[in-house]
Amino acid sequence: MARAIAVQTPRTSTASGARSSSVRKRFRSQVLPRIVLILMCAIFILPFYWMLTTALKSNDEIGAYPPTLWPHDLRWANFKDAVEVFPFWSFLRNTATITALTVLGAAISNPIVAYGFSRIAWPGRDKVFFLVLATVFVPFPVLIIALFDIFARLGWINTFLPLVVPLFFGNAFWIFLMRQFFMRIPQEVSDAARLDGANELQILFKIIMPQSWPALSAVCLFAGLHAWNDFLGPLIFLQDETKYTLAIGLTFFESQSQYDIRFNLLMAASALIVLPVIVVFLMFQRVFVEGVTLGSMK
């Protein structure tokens, strides 16, 4: 699969072999990758396909044996029923608010902190950085109690603040991610800028960030996705229906007594929740790719 990396660079070839070589090159650059990609996609689309088709099945058809690959009757009403199981639109609004604030916080804090851990050489820096990393190795569930005590003292329970505010102070993993990308940029770039009289903030925003769009957009995407799908945080810190998020709403399809679940409605609601993420991802890709071209123009 690594061969594709070479494709854009012209290969020198003798005139006599040019024709057959160009056919082979075409195959290697255009056909072969597609075969591999389509095979991979066939596997990776399976869960989504199953979710979508199940969302459109009737109760009876879910029990059909052998399972039907395509629903006999497309039961679009499942979507209507699904959004009535919980206050879908108000949960959507809550989730969107939390997600937007989370992305904002992550986008501001992580590059700044990562810069401090990668582009400035200060004594003890990497030791402190190891401390940053160490914090993610403490299992979260055991911290819940004490965290809740803090947020309760601040009066933040049943608000979005416990879910959002900590993100404005950087997240160890995303700091680490940005640091790894910052460190790949040659130090000379910064040195030269410093000689020209640029201060550190200018270097960060004028020189380092333009080369790090892929990393920053990845951090934003991950932060957004984390907020969008997080379950444990909202479960603990939110306390009534006016504040709940979509991930919590999904659990309402399950019965409190075991072995009963409205499977098609759950899938319909999940599909609705995934949809905006797909749209954002497609938009994100443009930033991602355009950012890459910016970054590689040195």
Partner 1 sequence: MAAEILAASSPRRPPFGQRFLLGRAERRNLAMGLLFISPWIVGFVAFLLYPFIYTIRIGFTQYSGFGDPLWIGLENYRQLFRDDLFWKSLYNTLFYTGLAIPVGVVVAMGLALAMNQPVPEVPIYRAILYLPSVIPAFALSFIFLTLLDPARGIFNQALMAVGLPNINWFGDPRYSKLALVILAQFGAGQAALIFLAGLKGIPPTLYEASMLDGAGTWRKFWNITLPMMTPVILYDLILGLSTGIQIFTQIFVIFGNDPPGAPANSTLAYVPYLYNNGFRYGQMGYAAAMAWVLFLITLVLAFFIFRSSNRWVHYDTD
Partner 2 sequence: MGNSNETPYRLIDHASRRRTNRRRFLQGAAGLGAAAIAGARVIVPVAAQEGDAVVFWTTFTDPDLAILKGMVETYNGQTQSAKVELVQIPPAEVTDTSKLMTAVRGGTGPDVYHLDRFVVAQRAADGVLQDLSEFEGGATFLDNHIAFARSEATYDGKPFALPFDTDARALYYNRTLLMEAGIDIAALDPANGPATWDAVKQMANALNQKGPDGNYTRMGFIPWLNQGWHYTYGFSWGGEFFDQAACEVTPDNAQVVAAFQWVYDYCKELGPQQVSAFGSPSMQPGFPPQQHPFITGTLGMQITGDWMINQLRTYAPEMDYGITFIPVPTAGNESATWAGGWSMAMPQGAKQPEAAFQFMQWMSGEPGQRIYTKESAHLPTWEALLEDKTLFEERHRFFSEQLLPIAKNRPPLPVGAKYWDELTAAWQAVYLNEAEPQEALTAVKERVQSQLGRFCPVTIEG
Is residue 24 within 8 Å of residue 32, measured between CB atoms? no
Q: Which two tokens stand for residue 38?
A: 């389509």
* Binding partner at 34 among partner 1, partner 2, none, C-beta below 5 to 8 Å by kind: partner 1
Distance in angstroms (rounded) separating the CA atoms of residues 69 and 168: 45
The tally of CA atoms less than 13 A away on the side-chain side of residue 160 is 20
Q: Which residue of 5, 69, 121, 138 would you call a contact of partner 2, by CB under 8 A?
A: 121
**Rule CB under 8 A: is residue 119 a binding residue for partner 2?**
yes
What x/- string results for residues 157 through 186 when contact with partner 2 is judged by CB under 8 A?
Answer: xx------------------------x--x
Q: Letter for the amino acid at 91?
A: F
Distance in angstroms (rounded) separating the CA atoms of residues 191 and 242: 52
| Neighbour tally for 294: CB within 10 Å | 14
**Rule CB under 8 A: is residue 239 a binding residue for partner 2?**
yes
Q: Find the shortest distance in angstroms from Cβ 216 to partner 1.
A: 10
Alpha helices in 203-262 (DSSP H): 213-229, 232-237, 246-250
Helix (H, G, I), strand (E, B) or coil at 254: strand
Interacting residues with partner 2 between 243 and 272 (CB under 8 A) = 248, 251-261, 263, 266
Among residues 87 and 176, whose Cβ is nearest to partner 1? 176
Residues that bind partner 2 (CB under 8 A): 59-60, 62-63, 65, 85, 118-119, 121, 124-127, 129-130, 133, 141, 144-145, 148-149, 151-153, 155, 157-158, 183, 186-187, 191, 232, 235-236, 239-241, 248, 251-261, 263, 266
